[in-house]
Structure 1
Amino acid sequence: MTLPRGKDFRPPWPLRSGHIQTMLSSSGVRRLLLPRAAKTVLQGAEPVVLDGGGGVRLSGAYTAQKTRPQSRGLAVLFHGWEGSVDSTYVLQTGSRLLADGWDIFRLNFRDHGDSHGLNEALFHSCRLDEVVHALGEIATRWSARPMAVAGFSLGGNFALRAAMQTSRVGIPLSYALAVCPIIDPAVGLFSLEETAPWFYQAYFMRKWRHSLLLKQKAFPQHQYFEMSELKKHLRGLTEALVLRHTDFKSLQQYLDGYSVAGDAMLAMQIPATILTAKDDPVIPVGSFEQLRLPPNVELDIAEFGGHCGFIRGGDMVSYTDDYIAARFNALADGTSPIG
């Protein structure tokens, strides 16, 4: 079977604009126009609270497939920063894999979705251990094999880092796929502030400030920030919270803590795929072009797609559905999931 490639994605004009792709990817318009089949993962979904280790709790949702006598495997999906298990792209991907016979687990990172009241300490992007611990519980409670993970943006970064840890700790993860993952956080932060159009930073900052206010409401006895800090831009607020709530001595040290740039992924022991687009206005393509990867990690750079968009047409369905499903299904069928 020939696996789909990034070069195969050739959307019609005006969907060849990376900005349009990016803006549509998480828009309310897209959610309204998506076909009903893109939301079937919600039907019969079981809300779950997982053990993240050390008293940490993470929320999620499990949906068992009903289309085949036996499940093809277990697909775990990670959303992006300030997304959730109910983000459009997560529902769409989960629904497609469900239709193909996969059981689906959608995981919320700490302080995402409606989980702000589960843990007193704030989310930050270096909290990998709790995600890996949760993956271990998922693998134990739902034993369908193979088990594969797909993540988007920051979720793609988590998927890649978790995949390098699961082999070491004995969690039976077989494959990881990352769509437009954050590679070098320092570069991504600089890009959002200095080179990307202003409305991207405004969008993320609005969602982040709202999330922080929800956290403060959930734990009124704990002061997470000064109100003046909420008025800072992305870099300033990130630095303020890092210095206040983590053991990192500087913003740069924190950003390096979740970087997968350079030769970091040479440690990957399982097959993995990275899909991105040259016209992604959020994650610069140069970060991908400088990666040093082992043979079991596939880097696929498309001409078009924006940031986690890859929208094919007026139905708002993403090409990533076919792309992810083909690779997951190849894994389940015993063939290579990388091209």
Structure 2
Amino acid sequence: MVRGLERESYEFVLPCRDGVQLHGVYSPNSNDDGRLAVLIHGWEGCYTSTYLMSATNHLHRNGYSVFRLHLRDHGPTHHLNEAPFLAIRLEEVLEALSSLKEMLPGKRFYLAGFSLGGNFAVRIAANANRHDLPIERALALCPPVDPERVSWAIQRSAIYNRYFVRKWQKSLATKLSLYSAFGDHADLQDHTDIMALQEDFIPRFSHHETASSYFAAYGLTEQNLKSMDAPCHLLFTKDDPVIPVEDCSLLPELEGLSSEIAATGGHCGFVKALGLFSWADDYILSHFNKK
């Protein structure tokens, strides 16, 4: 089914302001009744990430058209924009979804994001009205609430620290190969700790002088969210090694923002059987189908 679905999918390039372009993959369903599931991967994930493919297949099989959106510099998109990815680049994601609305008129958006994509999903739901986005509901699975605490949790895990440093450095190497100006930043690839890499990277490519200031700019706080334009539900797990489950208590009390904590699921794993099926697929579908 997945291979057949990919053969029937189409790549979109979504224009944003100032020449920025984002990319995504559209899997249409002729029986969608106007329902479009918009899925956003996690940090250093992409449209073929296992959890995204699994959710896409399940939603498509149950009557949704699906659009898998790439954040800047994720998947095959490093060539589209010279400036690198930053998690604070929310506006371009809102603009990309506005372009998607124009390309697929009449669709109602059902938004789900995983990990960092979940953090984006919450912020999108809080800012949907500014771009007249037709978001019916949003869902965030294992989203970072306090990004600085998450980064320290990653660093404390040798496995996750090594994984994310290697993935990020591979992304930086791709940028170096595409844009000669990035040659001045080749030394970023010398870092072996995620926090040291963040502290070095952020002042070079953003207006933030410290990583702490940068992290605070996209935390899920009342100051950043203010209010919710579309209902958004957040799912956390007690055994998540990346997102401290106690961060759920830091969420602001806003109308339309809700959360729950599952006993198990790890970090976007949600395995329900030896066959590695994900119970998150059923969870997303059930949430989207709510009246």
1:42 matched to 2:6? The reply is: yes
Equivalent of 2:67, from 83, 96, 105?
105
Equivalent of 1:63, from 27, 31, 38?
27
1:77 is matched with which residue? 39
After TM superposition, the structure 1 = structure 2 runs for residues 243-322 of structure 1, keeping only pairs within 5 Å, are 243-261=203-221, 264-265=224-225, 267-322=227-282
Partners of 2:188 and 2:200 within 8 A in 1: no
CA distance in 2, matches of 1:94, 1:40: 12
Equivalent of 1:92, from 42, 54, 63?
54
1:201 matched to 2:161? The reply is: yes
After TM superposition, the structure 1 = structure 2 runs for residues 233-252 of structure 1, keeping only pairs within 5 Å, are 233-252=193-212
SS where residue 274 of structure 1 aligns? strand
Task: Give 2:96's aligned amino acid.
Answer: A
1:127 is matched with which residue? 89
SS where residue 226 of structure 1 aligns? helix
Task: Give 1:135's aligned amino acid.
Answer: L
SS where residue 223 of structure 1 aligns? helix
Q: What is the CA distance between 1:294 and its match in structure 2?
A: 2.6
CA distance in 1, matches of 2:188, 2:139: 39
Task: Give 1:75's aligned amino acid.
Answer: A
Q: What is the CA distance between 1:229 and its match in structure 2?
A: 4.9
Unaligned runs of 5+ in 1: 1-36
CA distance in 2, matches of 1:271, 1:40: 33
Q: What is the CA distance between 1:262 and its match in structure 2?
A: 5.7
Relative distance call for 1:73 and 1:224 in structure 2 (3 A) is farther
- The more displaced of 265-274 and 282-291 is 265-274
Task: Give 1:63's aligned amino acid.
Answer: S
Unaligned runs of 5+ in 2: none
Partners of 1:281 and 1:306 within 8 A in 2: yes
Relative distance call for 1:43 and 1:300 in structure 2 (3 A) is farther
- Larger relative contact order, structure 1 or 2 (CA cutoff 8 Å, min sep 6): 1
Task: Give 2:244's aligned amino acid.
Answer: P
CA distance in 1, matches of 2:77, 2:164: 19
Task: Give 2:142's aligned amino acid.
Answer: C
Q: What is the CA distance between 1:220 and its match in structure 2?
A: 2.5
Relative distance call for 1:255 and 1:162 in structure 2 (3 A) is same
Task: Give 1:192's aligned amino acid.
Answer: I
CA distance in 1, matches of 2:184, 2:111: 32
SS where residue 94 of structure 1 aligns? helix
CA distance in 1, matches of 2:2, 2:270: 15
CA distance in 2, matches of 1:218, 1:310: 37
2:109 is matched with which residue? 147
Task: Give 2:40's aligned amino acid.
Answer: F
**TM (normalized to structure 1)?**
0.82
Task: Give 1:61's aligned amino acid.
Answer: V
Partners of 1:85 and 1:108 within 8 A in 2: yes
Task: Give 1:113's aligned amino acid.
Answer: G
CA distance in 1, matches of 2:126, 2:107: 19
Partners of 1:39 and 1:95 within 8 A in 2: no
CA distance in 2, matches of 1:153, 1:87: 12
Partners of 1:174 and 1:270 within 8 A in 2: yes
Q: What is the CA distance between 1:228 and its match in structure 2?
A: 5.6
Task: Give 2:160's aligned amino acid.
Answer: Y
After TM superposition, the structure 1 = structure 2 runs for residues 206-245 of structure 1, keeping only pairs within 5 Å, are 206-223=166-183, 225-227=185-187, 229-245=189-205
SS where residue 126 of structure 1 aligns? coil
1:323 is matched with which residue? 283
Task: Give 2:233's aligned amino acid.
Answer: T
Q: What is the CA distance between 1:266 and its match in structure 2?
A: 5.2
Q: CA RMSD in A?
A: 1.7
Q: What is the CA distance between 1:186 and its match in structure 2?
A: 0.9
Partners of 1:61 and 1:105 within 8 A in 2: yes
